[in-house]
Chains A and B, each alone.
Chain A
Amino acid sequence: MSAATDERALRSRAADFDWQSRMLPSRLLGAQSTTRGLVTYGVLFVVVVLLAALPFMIDTATMAIATRVLIFALLGIGWNVMSGFGGMFSFGHAAYFGIGAYTTAACVVHFGISPWIALVIGMALAVVAALVISWLAFRYRLAGAYYALSTFAFAEVLMLVAEGNDWLHRTDGIGLPVAPGESWWMFNFKLNSPNYYWIAVAFVGVALAVSISFTRARTGRFVVSVRDDEAAAAAAGINPLRYKLTAVAVSAAITAAAGMLYMEYYGFVDPTTAFNSSVSNNAIITAVVGGVGTIWGPLIGAIVTAPLTDLINGFLRNPPAGLEFLHGHSGLDLVVYAAILIVFVLFLPRGIYGSITHWIQRKRRK
């Protein structure tokens, strides 16, 4: 089948789940001039330095939360590349997360291979899986909600396959044994070593740099233009399939890295942890609360949403005078968390970062 028929089919079907056409115009996304680019990288540098300085200011329990925030951020950044910039709504990012986590687990436990090599293998496997599922989906002209649910089903299939696979220890899951000593090569440090956190910062920094360069490079701009108007992009000689698949591949690779980080930090993975829809939901929540289709949105979204239940629980554990009756109700934290999520969406529909930039744009125009 020629690319042209593919495009027509995709376009006609995109209409029934047209969620991106109402999104931010693409000019908001990428800076065109080199100076602006340098400023963006400069900001990234400062953000990374600030994040890296955090362990000197906080206690170990907060650092554990901060590390989880960064893993969530990585998930969100990965999702955002494909679904924010690329406009292909993924409802199954748990698939790539799980592949990253399981590859690491299997490599370390079964073969004693360094997690860093496992990271590369895991990313490669996730990319292959993402390309296969997306190519099939685009080949068979799935778009919108149908595409979203096909990614969802794919993650479920991987979960059920892992549950029935002896080599992956079925529903037992795989735990990393605690090894004595510290080793960068084997990604093994003392509990509460800031190294775990710093590696997570480095991962997020690299992922953000990749997103920035992706949106600035020709590839990324083409991806965005395909998202915004596929027919126009195709008329301008852009091959939509190629650029869509590129976005999918980058996205899957970043998400697999999040899975590897999870595995190494928490030391355990089972089919539910890896492939459950809550993982996919977390990727979406992070990006949407921060701002879909923006560079900084997922990081901000992760910083706001990931520690939310911890903060609420901290509050409920020692409630201020007059609110003691709130103490000791299991589930209250999640009710509040859900309410806050909904309030965010209702009042900041563009996400935190998206709403702020939108507000600034409007002020400047006045």
Chain B
Amino acid sequence: MTMTQLDERLGETSVLPAARRRLHELLGQRFVRTIGVTVIVIAVVAIIAGLVSHSPDVVWQAIITGLLNGGVYSLIAMGLTLAYGVLHIINFANGSMLTLGLYLAYVAVHDWGMQPYVALLFVIPAMMAFGALTQKFLLNPVMNGASHNQLLVTIGLAVGLENLILLIAGPNPVSVTLPHGGSFSLFGATVDLGRLYAFVGAIAMVVLLSLILQKTPVGTAVRAVAANPVGASLVGVNIKNIYVLTFAIGGAAIGAAATLIAPFQSITPTTGDVFNLTAFVVVVLGGMGNVAGALVGGFVVGLTEQLAGIIFPEQSPLLSVFVVFLIVLFIRPRGVFGRAS
């Protein structure tokens, strides 16, 4: 199988519109139906929330907050879905790596006086290097082994990172302030600027990652390894290098996510834990390895959390999130949009 043939085969299942043919497939019946069903379900839930709260303002705010939070969730899940899609690793250290990125952003802004978004220029390469080194020295040696070994390495990494940060930075919360932050009202709903930027960042990241995966030779190699490692190595792809590259891109994605959420997130050594659970849910809902799916998965989680908080005030909103997760898992075992690569 040549590289081009491989590329074409991969193209058949890809999600982002890289060409009209693909766009056509993308807007195929299944996709439209899925989006349709999702929107209808959310609309019904929103109406129920409106009936419960007797206030359209509250529901409108919940939808806006849910979408904005959803952007944050999908941003954080991007690296996780990539690691799973290509490496088939459940990266339990995703949350701790986020924490590391948050502290790097804090150092860049607080100690070096960088503008919070200029810090991206430092945090992304730093986290990329961290990802590459982690894969090369900790994960590559166990890639041929059982997957519980890979999971255990990431669990070890999570515990180690969290406490290393605690040792170095101490336990007190720190924060990054946005100089020109603020908020505006969108038909009565509050929109925080920092969150809006993160939301835009999430969409930009989906486009960027999809372009890298679809349009570059490197991306083709990555997708080839994801789909068929043996075949890819037969056509001359160095699989271990691709693994390193993938985890590096995943690290970069986490770095970007960390910098974008730093301006509105209180930062402690355990901050990443809060997002670890939701990130798993987002990844599975969107289809593991599916970057665009993670965005939709994030919206579903964000909206579920906000609306469920209104409808079931006595329960933790996370309960509804996990129940939705299990239901979707049983109905669509491959996630709402299936796997991309």
Residues of chain A touching chain B, judged by Cβ–Cβ distance below 8 Å, are 13, 16-17, 19-20, 22-23, 83, 89, 91, 136-137, 140-142, 145-146, 148-150, 152-154, 156-157, 160-161, 163-164, 277, 281, 284-285, 287-289, 292, 329-332, 334-335, 337-339, 341-342, 345-346, 349
Contacts and interface: CB of A to CB of B under 8 A. Distances in A.
Nearest to B281: A153
Interface of B: 84, 88, 90, 92, 138, 141-142, 144-149, 151-153, 155-160, 162-164, 166-167, 171, 277, 280-281, 284, 288, 314-316, 318-319, 322-323, 325-326, 329-331, 333-334, 339
A140 B330 contact: yes
A143 B331 CA distance: 14
Contacts, number: 136
Given A20-B146, A339-B160, A346-B141, A149 B151 contact: no
B148 A83 contact: yes
A285 B333 contact: no
B322 A160 contact: yes
Given A16-B88, A19-B146, A22-B145, A337 B319 contact: no
A89 B146 CA distance: 11
A291 to B, nearest CB: 11
B160 A338 contact: yes
Nearest to B158: A338
Given A91-B151, A149-B280, A338-B163, 5 more contacts: A156-B318, A157-B326, A330-B167, A334-B159, A334-B160
B117 to A, nearest CB: 31
Given A153-B325, A284-B152, A346-B138, A145 B163 contact: no
Given A16-B88, A145-B88, A156-B277, A345 B160 contact: no
Q: Which 3 A-B pairs have the closest CB atoms?
A: A338-B160, A19-B147, A331-B163
A19 B147 CA distance: 5
B147 A89 contact: yes
Given A149-B280, A154-B326, A342 B138 contact: yes
B19 to A, nearest CB: 27
Among A83, A157, A287, A345: residue with most chain B CB under 10 A:
A345
Contacts of A157: 319, 322-323, 326
A345 B156 contact: yes
B156 A338 contact: yes
B88 A17 contact: yes
B88 A341 contact: no
A339 B162 CA distance: 12
B322 A349 contact: no
Contacts of A148: 90
Nearest to B332: A140
A142 B333 contact: yes
Contacts of B158: 338
A314 to B, nearest CB: 18
B90 A288 contact: no
B143 to A, nearest CB: 11
Contacts of A22: 144-146
Nearest to A348: B149
Given A89-B147, A91-B90, A335 B167 contact: yes
B155 to A, nearest CB: 5
B325 to A, nearest CB: 5
A22 B164 CA distance: 33
Nearest to B88: A17
A6 to B, nearest CB: 13
A164 B333 CA distance: 28
Nearest to A150: B329
A13 B281 contact: no
Contacts of B144: 22
6 contacts: A89-B147, A142-B330, A164-B314, A334-B159, A338-B156, A342-B156
A184 B166 CA distance: 44
B326 A150 contact: yes
A337 B159 contact: yes
B210 to A, nearest CB: 21
Nearest to B141: A346
A13 B162 CA distance: 34
Contacts of A292: 146, 148
A145 B84 contact: yes
A136 B330 contact: yes
Given A19-B147, A335-B160, A13 B152 contact: no
A284 B151 contact: yes
Contact of A284 (B155, B162, B288, B339): B155
Contacts of B164: 331, 335
Nearest to A277: B277
A337 B148 CA distance: 18
A334 B163 contact: yes
Contact of A332 (B138, B152, B167, B330): B167
Contacts of B318: 156, 160
Contacts of B157: 338, 342
Nearest to B168: A331
A339 B148 CA distance: 17
A157 B324 CA distance: 11
Contacts of B316: 160, 163-164
B148 A89 contact: yes
A285 B280 contact: no
Given A22-B144, A160-B319, A335-B160, A146 B167 contact: no
A261 to B, nearest CB: 24
Nearest to A333: B163
A288 B339 CA distance: 29
Nearest to B145: A349
Contacts of A332: 163, 167
B145 A164 contact: no
A66 to B, nearest CB: 23
A275 to B, nearest CB: 11
A349 B142 contact: yes
Nearest to A155: B322
Contacts of A142: 329-330, 333
Among B141, B155, B277, B330: residue with most chain A CB under 10 A:
B155
Given A160-B322, A329-B167, A345-B149, A145 B156 contact: no
B333 A146 contact: yes
A147 to B, nearest CB: 9
A331 B166 contact: yes
B329 A330 contact: no
Nearest to B289: A16
